């Protein structure tokens, strides 16, 4: 079963942390992006994570519907079906659900998982992300505790965010975030561990200067040692540490990626880079076949080049090539646990 069971998923996360690698996590919006991701993971012999954001779910539900939860269900069910054709494990996750979207997005997805479990299947998603980072810390942790209880009842992992990832993604603009919120403190990491560890399985997106989007070299100042310092505080008091997540991974320097992994990062979100990898070959196709794409001056065009399957397949391949690079960068290449757990 290439979409792992919850027991297999926990084993994936713990193995990545103990062996020093991380999983590429890609946001998907269409079947072409899903197929590109599956193709990449299989080619790299790397397990991976496919995730759906609110915007991605709304897009997948169609412009006449724009129901984020419905679209997420459609995409997740497609992954469950298509992943059966591959010999790697591909987990399902949702990305950045803000506090004011819990009732319209997270809870309907948890309800969908309840129905799947009642029918003898696993949950729809292996994990979900609650991003309550716009709330004061006390309120963030209070909501995180409540949602972790609801997820844990279904065996689902919860990812939370402490601090703010800068930049703009999926319609949420944090480009004006205060500088201090871009760097999670060790004290906040300790508070998070103490609040959540007794309740269930969780991951922490601690911020260390990471920003959504890509920028020219030098524009973003990452401080991975923040993760080290936070982990040390937890280790000193509890002889334990946390599973960490790297948001805003697109365009990051390889040295920063590898350093973050060494401090317990087991998942890196890659969205902007894969969007470009999908769009670039499509744009080149359009530019190189403009006469065939458009019926200019009364001509009939060329069906072979304006058939959407032609250029969408190129986008799928672009995604696959970029994610194979990601698997190499994150050291997950060749380390699939398929058939081993």
Neighbouring C-beta atoms of residue 114, cutoff 10 Å: 14
Residue 176 has pLDDT above 90, yes or no: no
Q: Supply the DSSP symbol for 330.
A: T
pLDDT tier, 68 (very low <50, low <70, confident <90, very high otherwise): very high
pLDDT for res 219: 55
Whether residue 315 contacts residue 36, with contact meaning beta carbons closer than 8 Å, is answered with: yes
Residue 217 has pLDDT above 60, yes or no: no
Whether residue 223 contacts residue 208, with contact meaning beta carbons closer than 8 Å, is answered with: yes
Q: In this prediction, what percent of the chain has a pLDDT beyond 90? A: 85
Report domain extents, the chain: 6-329
pLDDT tier, 167 (very low <50, low <70, confident <90, very high otherwise): very low
pLDDT for res 201: 98
53-57, 107-111, 175-179, 195-199: which has the minimum mean pLDDT?
A: 175-179
pLDDT for res 55: 97
89-98, 127-136, 202-211: which has the minimum mean pLDDT?
A: 202-211
- Which residues on neighbouring strands pair with residue 166, listed in sequence order? 211
Whether residue 140 contacts residue 24, with contact meaning beta carbons closer than 8 Å, is answered with: no
**pLDDT tens digits, residue range 243-256?**
999 998 777 889 99
CATH code of the domain made up of 6-329: 3.20.20.70
Residue 317 has pLDDT above 50, yes or no: yes
Residue 168 has pLDDT above 50, yes or no: no
Whether residue 20 contacts residue 262, with contact meaning beta carbons closer than 8 Å, is answered with: yes
pTM over 0.85: yes
CA-only gyration radius of the chain, Å: 20
| Residue numbers annotated as active site | 95
Residue 61 has pLDDT above 50, yes or no: yes
pLDDT for res 173: 44
**pLDDT tens digits, residue range 277-309?**
999 999 999 999 999 999 988 889 999 999 999
Residue 216 has pLDDT above 60, yes or no: no
Residues 6+ apart with CB under 8 A from 313: 32
**pLDDT tens digits, residue range 194-207?**
999 999 999 999 99
Whether residue 318 contacts residue 36, with contact meaning beta carbons closer than 8 Å, is answered with: yes
**Which one is predicted more confidently, 242 or 171?**
242
3-class secondary structure, 226: helix
The 10 Å CB-count burial string (b at 16+, else e) for 131-155 is: bbbbbebeebbebbbebbebbbebb
6-10, 19-23, 150-154, 206-210: which has the minimum mean pLDDT?
A: 206-210
Average pLDDT of the chain to the nearest whole number = 92
Mean pLDDT computed over 67-80: 98
**CA angle, 159 as apex, 155 and 161 as ends, to 5°?**
155
């Amino acid at each position: 079963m290439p979409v792992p069971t919850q027991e297999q998923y926990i084993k994936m996360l713990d193995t990545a942390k103990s062996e020093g690698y991380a999983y590429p996590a890609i946001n998907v919006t269409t079947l072409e992006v899903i197929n590109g991701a599956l193709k990449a993971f299989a080619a790299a012999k790397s397990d991976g994570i496919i995730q759906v954001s609110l915007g991605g779910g709304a897009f997948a539900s169609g412009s006449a519907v724009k129901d984020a939860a419905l679209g997420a269900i459609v995409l997740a069910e497609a992954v469950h079906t298509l992943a059966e054709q591959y010999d790697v494990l591909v987990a399902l996750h949702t990305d950045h659900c803000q506090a004011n979207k819990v009732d319209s997005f997270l809870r309907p997805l948890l309800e969908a998982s309840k129905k799947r479990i009642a029918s003898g299947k696993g949950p729809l998603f292996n994990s979900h992300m609650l991003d309550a980072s716009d709330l004061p810390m006390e309120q963030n942790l209070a909501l995180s505790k409540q949602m972790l209880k609801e997820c844990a009842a279904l065996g689902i992992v919860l990812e939370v965010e402490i601090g703010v990832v800068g930049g703009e993604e999926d319609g949420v603009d944090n480009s004006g975030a205060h500088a201090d919120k871009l760097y999670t403190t060790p004290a906040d990491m300790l508070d998070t561990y103490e609040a959540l560890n007794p309740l269930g399985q969780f991951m922490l997106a601690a911020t260390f200067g990471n920003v959504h989007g890509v920028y020219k070299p030098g524009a973003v100042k990452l401080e991975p040692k923040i993760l080290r310092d936070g982990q040390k505080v937890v280790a000193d008091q509890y002889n334990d540490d946390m599973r960490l997540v790297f948001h805003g991974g697109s365009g990051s320097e390889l040295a920063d990626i590898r350093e973050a992994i060494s401090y317990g990062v087991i998942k890196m979100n890659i969205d902007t880079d894969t969007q470009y990898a999908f769009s670039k070959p499509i744009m080149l196709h359009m530019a190189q076949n403009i006469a065939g794409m458009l019926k200019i001056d009364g001509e009939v065009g060329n069906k072979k080049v304006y058939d959407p399957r032609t250029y969408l397949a190129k986008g799928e391949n672009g995604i696959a090539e970029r994610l194979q690079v990601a698997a190499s960068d994150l050291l997950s290449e060749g380390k699939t646990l398929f058939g081993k757990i």
